Amino acid sequence: GQSLEQPSEVTAVEGAIVQINCTYQTSGFYGLSWYQQHDGGAPTFLSYNALDGLEETGRFSSFLSRSDSYGYLLLQELQMKDSASYFCAVRDQGVRGSYIPTFGRGTSLIVHP
């Protein structure tokens, strides 16, 4: 089975940089994903790391260290619209060698003016 830990809430001011951490325990690791969910909306995919290192997509970056079972999502130049919940997810082993996702409990990011 899988276990993921991420902070329940993070606050920051507009224009700042914020990092949301995720640690995981898995029986087998196949990749770490990040999703964003605005209040009342559906989760949407942000980024994916299968290998160690940093992946950058505009203002958002995601980092993975497989040896430390750790990853983070970095949000730069924060905007009010970045206020949302952020979920990390790992791929667990499903049936017949397939992979299914397991999600963390989510981090609520509150951006203040």
Question: Under the rule (CB under 8 A), what is the footprint of another protein?
Answer: 8, 31, 33, 35, 41-45, 48, 50, 87, 89, 91, 94-95, 98-106
CB of 109 to another protein, least distance (A): 15
CB of 79 to another protein, least distance (A): 23
CA 10 to chain centre: 13
CB 22 within 8 A of CB 6: yes
How far apart (Å, rounded) are the C-alpha atoms in residues 43 and 49?
A: 18
CB of 42 to another protein, least distance (A): 4
Closer CB to another protein, residue 75 or residue 104? Answer: 104
Residue 19: helix, strand or coil by DSSP?
strand
